[in-house]
């Protein structure tokens, strides 16, 4: 579960799953049935999934999808969620694992739908073998993937309209934040640079990742891009590279998992000379929100947008 000691469960969810993210396809669709008693068909990453009726006993093994199910009004249908589904607080958390799924334990909850973001240990086939419908919706690689998956869950649970309203609201809130940040930015200035920290060992993300695209909304330049091409989308930066790059903004996505904060990083060797530290532009993120692609995405965008406005105003 933790190949890197300092990676928290929430951050690792994103790191592990994004590398295989093809899930919410552009052609994902549903027939919109179910409310009149007809079957429901959803096109997911594991193919065409047909439900005989609106599910009444849903098991979610994905923290992101747990959030979505409750946000679209399907919370009452959820009977069990995995151990890392920490939001909302009233979600029925269990010891079920999405990283080491146990088919027998899942079946014990008598689900008529299981929602996953990873097909670990062949769990999809294991459940399908005993006729348990499974909806595999992997980590989003793009914003549209995230929205498509919300729509899929809405269609599958009988909450299509609520899902559509949620997506519309997410789009609106994100656009408002981006517009406000752009309006506040001084004309003709160089783009701000940033570093997004996954753990205190300086593991980070590049612009190719989903979270990298979130920062891209504001035209920020990632100091990790091209730093270690062989390391892929989640490189480990050297202290020398980070200090030399001197990012304008530092975003900490390891506050809960690893106890990092602005005061702690200021004590690291050489960090007191970083512009972000001196100007108070070290931003403490909520690990869970920063590692998921669901309903709270606008909250993450807002925190980043506010930080961008502050840094821009100080230029």
pLDDT of residue 230: 66
Q: Name which of 4-13, 97-106, 289-298 the model is least confident about.
A: 4-13
Question: Which pLDDT band, with edges at 50, 70 and 90, does 13 fall under?
Answer: very low
Q: Are 96 and 80 a contacting pair, CB within 8 Å?
A: yes
231 vs 281, which has greater pLDDT?
281
Please indicate whether the domains covering 27-159 and 168-313 agree at the CATH topology level: yes
Q: Are 251 and 304 a contacting pair, CB within 8 Å?
A: yes
Question: pLDDT (tens digit, 9 = 90+) per residue, 14-46?
Answer: 433 333 333 334 333 444 445 556 799 999 999
- How many contiguous H segments (helices) and E segments (strands) does the chain have? 13, 10
- How far apart CA 139 and CA 100 sit, in angstroms, is 17
Q: Are 119 and 129 a contacting pair, CB within 8 Å?
A: no
- How far apart CA 213 and CA 271 sit, in angstroms, is 26
pLDDT of residue 27: 37
Both tokens assigned to 294: 């669901």
Does domain 27-159 fall into CATH 3.40.1440.60? Answer: no
Collapsing DSSP states into helix, strand and coil, what is residue 44? Answer: strand
Instruction: Please compute the mean of the pLDDT values over residues 77-91 and round it to a whole number.
Output: 97
Question: pLDDT (tens digit, 9 = 90+) per residue, 240-269?
Answer: 999 999 999 999 999 999 999 999 999 999
**168-313 CATH, one of 3.40.47.10, 3.40.50.1980, 3.20.20.140, 1.20.120.350:** 3.40.50.1980
Question: pLDDT (tens digit, 9 = 90+) per residue, 196-233?
Answer: 999 999 999 999 999 999 999 999 999 999 887 767 89
pLDDT of residue 36: 52
pLDDT of residue 2: 34
Domain positions in the chain? 27-159, 168-313
Both tokens assigned to 269: 């060797």
**What is this structure's pTM?**
0.87
Q: Are 177 and 302 a contacting pair, CB within 8 Å?
A: yes
């Amino acid at each position: 579960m933790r190949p890197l000691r300092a990676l928290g469960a929430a951050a690792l969810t994103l790191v592990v799953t994004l590398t295989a993210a093809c899930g919410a396809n552009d052609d994902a669709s549903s027939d919109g049935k179910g409310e009149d008693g007809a079957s429901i068909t959803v096109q997911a990453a594991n193919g065409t999934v047909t439900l005989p009726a609106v599910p009444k006993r849903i098991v979610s093994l994905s923290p992101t999808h747990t959030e979505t199910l409750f946000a679209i009004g399907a919370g009452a249908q959820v009977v069990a969620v995995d151990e890392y589904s920490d939001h909302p607080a009233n979600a029925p958390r269990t010891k079920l694992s999405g990283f080491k799924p146990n088919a027998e334990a899942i079946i014990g909850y008598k689900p008529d739908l299981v929602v996953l973001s990873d097909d670990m240990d062949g769990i999809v086939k294991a459940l399908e073998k005993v006729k348990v419908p499974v909806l595999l919706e992997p980590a989003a690689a793009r914003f549209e993937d995230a929205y498509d998956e919300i729509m899929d869950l809405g269609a599958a649970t009988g909450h299509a309209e609520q899902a559509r309203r949620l997506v519309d609201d997410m789009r609106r809130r994100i656009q408002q934040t981006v517009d406000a940040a752009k309006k506040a930015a001084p004309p003709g200035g160089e783009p701000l640079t940033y570093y997004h920290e996954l753990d205190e060992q300086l593991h980070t993300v590049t612009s190719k990742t989903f979270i990298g695209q979130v920062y891209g909304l504001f035209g920020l330049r990632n100091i990790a891009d091209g730093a270690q091409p062989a390391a892929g989308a989640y490189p480990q930066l050297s202290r020398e590279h980070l200090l030399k790059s001197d990012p304008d903004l530092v975003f900490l996505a390891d506050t809960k998992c690893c106890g990092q904060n602005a005061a702690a990083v200021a004590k690291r060797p050489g960090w007191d000379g970083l512009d972000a530290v001196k100007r108070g532009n070290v931003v403490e993120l909520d690990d869970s929100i920063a590692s998921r692609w669901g309903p709270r995405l606008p909250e993450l965008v807002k925190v980043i947008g506010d930080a961008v406005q502050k840094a821009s105003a100080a230029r």
